Amino acid sequence: MKRFAKLIQQLELSNKTNDKIEALVHYFNFTDDKDKVWVIALFTGKKPRRPVKAALLRQWVKELTQLPDWLFTESYHNVGDLSETIALLLPPAEQLSDHPLHQWIESLHELEGKDDEQKKQFILHAWNSLEPQERFIFNKLISGNFRIGVSNKMLVNALAKQSNTDSSQIMHSIMGKWDPYQITFQELIQGVHVNTDNSWPYPFCLAYALDTEPEKLGAPDEWQAEWKWDGIRGQIVKRAGELFIWSRGEELVTEQFPELWFLQDMLPDGTVLDGEILAAKNRQVLPFSVLQQRLNRKKISKKQLEEAPIGFFVYDLLEYQGQDYRSQPLSERRKKAEELLSALDDDSPVNLSPIISCSSWGELAALRETSRSVNSEGVMLKKRDSLYHSGRKRGDWWKWKINPYTVDTVMIYAQKGSGRRANFFTDYTFAVRDGENLITIAKAYSGLTDQEIREVNTFVTKNSLEKFGPVRTVRPELVFEIAFEGIAASKRHKAGIALRFPRILRWRKDKNVSEINTLTDLQQLLQSTLEQPGDETN
């Protein structure tokens, strides 16, 4: 564990990718194979099941330290992380010991099914044998949240370098289905499990945002233009008679979308489709707010099936007749996909995402302006001869999004951030005008530079009106332009409206609070989005 604690420390201290990879390679060079497997599992989000509830840990810390609850909470707000707060509050360890990482994980695993008293004994004993940094890691093992700025790609690159293996093979391997309790490090690197497991998806090919004029990309006929849909990116895998639906977050979501189950019979074995899971009716895409009713539900009611029907808009074909098709050019993949899906009825929930035909960039730019009328968020540009890359690569695919909606708001609450930003007021709540009053419309915690955060922080410190725990009510003076991607009616929000992906576009130092938008402005916007495409003429 000491070695792992050291690794975490090194990863946290540097912001440079090369330093992090160097630290990872060094770690993988000198560590027990069993530990390596667990580090890969933890960094790719394969959490061991949480053996002890956070509330219990909190209670035991309070017993040990004799601290009142409110003081624990104050401490937590200052530190910004529960595992770390606990590690710092505990009395010093009395008998240090060093066990490898996997041993700790296995011991924690064995706690499952034991009663609270047995769990308590184990945890207290562990705390008493670990140094502060190790305790922090140990607590993280319990919660399973290792967010320390190591992307899958970075991890894969380090593993590829350390084991002299092709990085795409490793990416493939760690994205598949594997059990850290069963697999060995060698098996994982060689991807032994991937061949026997039918479910594995391919890494998604991702696009960068277009940052120049499209004219600079060359002739328009070298490019395929499609709508950029605002849903859940997904892969549909059909192998050996089984159907799997993966979301971009590398989660299996097959059970959630019965509308797509028919593909199990319809698609030939050895087929993988890339596309977008959307709410759609008669091949018309519905707003994201409709899709939301269907997300993360264990059970789906008949009413939900009717009101929020699901469709899958196919972008690409990654595997065909059991062959990896990703190194074929896009034009070829598209052709095969058309063949494959030609048997589908016109009213099928699955269809190819249409190509936008246009003869010039100017024409496409004009069509792009109409994106919202089809509930799209812009245009995708894909080079016709492009391969299907793993992850993000510049040059072949671009997203050309329309500008977001914006609204001018005033800041009314501020709260301290967490993690790197604990101790700064970085989470803000914004309001628009509703008659004489201000009404909360969005919360956002990104979009400002560190310099601006400091300025706002100073303002908040000097202009706090009231204090509720970590939240400060501030004098409504600072005006921010908030950008957002969508708007929906909401019963949970006081304003009756929820904004999608709100973030701070800019701090409008040139405006004062009398110039902000009103709730009526937003209600009108909501109405206009609810009208179906084609309704405008009515």
Partner 1 sequence: MALVTFTKKGIYCRQGDFYIDPWLPVDYAVITHGHGDHVRFGNKHYLCHTLTGPIIRQRISTDLQVETQDYGKTVTRNGVKISFFPAGHIIGSAQVRLEYQGEIWVISGDYKTEYDGISTPFEPVRCHAFVSESTFGLPVYKWQKQDVIFNQVKSWIADNRQRDKTSVLIAYSLGKAQRLIKNLAGDMPIYVHNSIANLNEALEQAGVHLPETIRITADTRKEELKSGIVIVPSAMRNSRWLKNLSGPVTGICSGWMQVRAHRRWQSADAGFALSDHADWPGLLEAIKATGAEKIYVTHGFTATFSRFLNENGFDAKEVITRYGDDEAEIKLDTPEKTTNQELTN
> At closest approach, how far in Å is the CB of 27 from partner 1?
16
Q: Is 298 in the site for partner 1 (CB under 8 A)?
A: no
Please report how close the Cβ of residue 206 comes to partner 1 at its closest, in angstroms: 22
Stretch that binds partner 1, among 326-334, 421-429, 436-444, 477-485 (CB under 8 A): 421-429
In whole angstroms, give the CA distance from residue 522 to residue 246: 35
Between the CA of residue 372 and those of 107, 288, 354, what are the distances in Å? Answer: 53, 12, 16
Residue among 13 and 465 whose Cβ is closer to partner 1? 13
What is the DSSP pairing of strand 232-239 with strand 271-281?
Answer: antiparallel
Contact status: 424 vs partner 1 (CB under 8 A): yes
Pick one of 59, 75, 165, 473: the residue that binds partner 1 (CB under 8 A): 75
Minimum gap (Å) between residue 78 Cβ and partner 1: 6
Between CA 231 and CA 245 the distance in angstroms is 14
Stretch that binds partner 1, among 158-166, 309-317, 413-421, 489-497 (CB under 8 A): 413-421
- H, E, C per residue of 110-170: HCCCCCHHHHHHHHHHHHCCCCHHHHHHHHHHHHCCCCCCCCHHHHHHHHHHHHCCCHHHH
Kindly determine how many residues on this chain lie close enough to bind partner 1 according to the rule CB under 8 A. Answer: 33
Token pair 């074909």: residue:
317
**φ, ψ of residue 476 in degrees (nearest 5):** -75, 90
β 205-206/391-392 pair status:
parallel
Contacting partner 1 within 8-67 (CB under 8 A) = 12-16, 65, 67
Identity of the residue, 81 or 396, whose beta carbon is nearer to partner 1 in the bound complex: 81
Q: Measured between alpha carbons, how far is 508 from 510 in angstroms, rounded to an integer?
A: 5
**Nearer Cβ to partner 1, position 16 or 462?**
16
The reply to whether 120 belongs to the active site is no
In angstroms, the CA 294 to CA 300 distance is 7
Residues whose CB is less than 8 angstroms from the CB of residue 468 and which lie 6 or more positions away in sequence, other chains included: none
**Of 415 and 457, which has the nearer Cβ to partner 1?**
457
- Asked if 81 is part of the footprint of partner 1 (rule: CB under 8 A), the reply reads yes
Residue 88 found at the interface with partner 1 (CB under 8 A): yes
Using CB under 8 A as the binding rule, whether residue 134 contacts partner 1 is answered as no
Question: Is position 258 an interface residue for partner 1 (rule: CB under 8 A)?
Answer: no
Instruction: Report the alpha-carbon distance of residue 231 to residue 224 in Å, rounded.
Output: 20
Extract the tokens encoding 346: 């016109």
Strand partners, 376: 229
Q: Is 469 a residue that touches partner 1 (CB under 8 A)?
A: no
Q: Pattern 431-450, binding to partner 1, x per CB under 8 A?
A: ------------------xx
- Check 36, 119, 140, 228 and give the catalytic one: 228
Among 421, 475, 503, 506, binds partner 1 (CB under 8 A): 421
Window of 32-40, 71-79, 284-292, 354-362 that interacts with partner 1 by CB under 8 A: 71-79
Q: Which amino acid is at 371?
A: S
Min. distance of Cβ 458 from partner 1 in angstroms? Answer: 9
CB of 264 to partner 1, least distance (A): 47
Interface with partner 1 (CB under 8 A), residue from 454, 489, 494, 509: 454
| Nearest approach, Cβ of residue 92 and partner 1 (Å) | 8
Alpha-carbon torsion, ordered 184, 186, 191, 195, to 10 deg? -70
CB of 355 to partner 1, least distance (A): 39
3-class secondary-structure state, position 106: helix
d(CA 203, CA 14) in angstroms, rounded, equals 27
Q: Supply the minimum distance, in Å, between the C-beta of residue 136 and partner 1.
A: 8
3 state DSSP class of 198? coil
Kindly tell me which of 132 and 218 has the beta carbon lying closer to partner 1. Answer: 132
Residue (397 or 480) nearer to partner 1, CB:
480
- The DSSP H or E segment spanning 109 is helix 101-110
In the complex, the smallest distance separating the C-beta of residue 13 from partner 1, rounded to whole angstroms, is 6
Does residue 497 bind partner 1 (CB under 8 A)?
no
Interface with partner 1 by CB under 8 A: which range of 210-218, 269-277, 301-309, 418-426? 418-426
Our CB check for partner 1 shows the closer of 150 and 439 to be 150
> How many residues are recorded in the chain?
538
Lookup: tokens for 216: 């600079």
* Amino acid in the structure at residue 333: R
Q: Is 122 in the site for partner 1 (CB under 8 A)?
A: no
The tokens of 2 are what? Answer: 């000491």
Binding residue (CB under 8 A) for partner 1 from 36, 82, 85, 428: 85
C-alpha R_g of the chain: 26
- What are 341's two structure tokens? 């899906």
The distance between the two most distant Cα atoms of the chain, rounded to a whole number of Å, is 78
Stretch that binds partner 1, among 76-84, 101-109, 138-146, 312-320 (CB under 8 A): 76-84
| Site for partner 1, rule CB under 8 A | 12-16, 65, 67-68, 70-71, 74-75, 78-81, 84-85, 88-89, 136, 418-424, 449-451, 454, 457
Residues annotated as catalytic (active site), given as ranges: 228
